[in-house]
């Protein structure tokens, strides 16, 4: 029978005593360990970041931003128990342009008790100076503990759009132009890519856009957003859900939700004059029609304002207040 007897193996005989390292070997191992520690301190493979929805809480993320490491609760005297990075289910990202739809969505989310992380994507378009000023004013008016500080992401488009009217200001679509005239190529994809990646890197699992049911563009369809979501998941190894809370609503329904919000602080114009809505462009016409659709006074100061009895004004507003046709429906 094979067995153990006071340190002797029945078949192998006495075990050799463990071999001890001499002082030179121990010193060598100590120096190797010390060098590794110094390298970690002087050139760490991670970076310390604030946890966006937990004040006083930090996490470390790998220099490769898609590989999460560990999270530590605070600094001095706090628990050093490592944790995996937790998502922030109560926080929702929001692409905020400063227009009526996205501003109303911000107010709607806050009223629903959500913590909102707003994003403004700065592309260098000609109306952004005026737009950004109104974004800041609207955020200030809604400021509260559940509204995070605005994150501004830069995505200059001059190399893509060239002399497009959105950059040059020439040939801006006017009052009577169709909605398709204001199409900006790849707009939603461009806006989403940086904001969604920011959410992924900061543990935010949902990013919202104020896309409405009547949006006619290919990059505003459920199929587009599902494909974008799948692409992001494959590219980053994690999911950020792209949500469209107003995706089944008409403009009039969204405007009803906006009652009580400071909509005079929003901005819609694509050809502003001295910081004011021009009153002559496609988006100004859409704005006028939005207030008219709910029977509300338009508080917007326009540089040029058509009179209510003007045939152009009446025709434009009537056309835009008409319910959108369903697919396959004849005019």
Spatial strand order in the sheet of 206-208? 151-154, 115-122, 91-95, 206-208, 241-243
Whole-structure pTM value: 0.69
pLDDT beneath 70, residues of the chain: 1-89, 306-331
pLDDT for res 214: 86
Domain ranges of the chain: 44-86, 91-321
Identify the H or E element spanning 122.
strand 115-122
Domain spanning 91-321: which superfamily? HUPs (3.40.50.620)
> How crowded is residue 193: how many other Cβ atoms within 10 Å of its Cβ?
18
Residues 100-146: tens digit of each pLDDT: 999 999 999 999 999 999 999 999 999 999 999 999 999 999 999 99
Residues 55-101: tens digit of each pLDDT: 444 343 444 333 332 333 333 333 333 333 444 558 999 999 999 99
Q: How far, in Å, are 115, 152, 153 from residue 191 at the CA level?
A: 21, 11, 9
Distance CA 75, CA 55 (A): 12
């Amino acid at each position: 029978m094979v067995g153990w007897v006071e340190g002797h193996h029945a078949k192998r005989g006495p075990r050799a005593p463990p071999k001890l390292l001499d002082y030179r070997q121990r010193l060598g191992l100590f120096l190797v360990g010390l060098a590794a520690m110094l390298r970690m301190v002087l050139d760490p493979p991670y970076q310390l970041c604030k946890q966006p929805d937990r004040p006083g809480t930090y996490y470390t993320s790998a220099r490769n931003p898609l590989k999460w490491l560990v999270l530590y609760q605070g600094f001095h005297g706090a628990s050093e128990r490592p944790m995996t990075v937790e998502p922030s289910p109560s926080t929702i990202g929001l692409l905020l342009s400063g227009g009526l739809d996205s501003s109303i969505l911000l107010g709607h989310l806050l009223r629903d008790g959500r913590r909102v992380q707003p994003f403004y994507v700065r592309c260098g378009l000609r109306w952004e100076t005026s737009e950004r000023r109104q974004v800041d004013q609207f955020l200030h008016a809604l400021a509260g503990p559940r509204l995070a500080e605005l994150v501004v992401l830069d995505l200059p488009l001059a190399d893509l759009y060239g002399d497009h009217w959105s950059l040059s200001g020439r040939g801006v679509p006017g009052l009577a132009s169709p909605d398709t005239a204001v199409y900006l190529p790849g707009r939603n994809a461009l806006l989403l890519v940086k904001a969604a990646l920011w959410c992924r890197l900061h543990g935010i699992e949902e990013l919202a856009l104020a896309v409405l049911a009547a949006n006619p563009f290919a990059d505003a369809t459920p199929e587009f957003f599902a494909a974008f979501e799948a692409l992001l998941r494959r590219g980053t190894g994690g999911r950020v859900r792209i949500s469209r809370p107003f995706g089944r609503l008409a403009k009039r329904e969204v405007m009803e939700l906006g009652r009580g919000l400071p909509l005079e602080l929003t901005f819609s114009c694509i050809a502003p004059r001295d910081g004011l809505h021009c009153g002559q462009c496609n988006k100004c016409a859409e704005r006028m029609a939005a207030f008219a659709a709910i029977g509300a006074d338009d508080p917007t100061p326009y540089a040029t304002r058509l009179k209510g009895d003007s045939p152009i004004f009446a025709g434009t507003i009537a056309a835009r207040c008409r319910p959108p046709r369903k697919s396959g429906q004849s005019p």
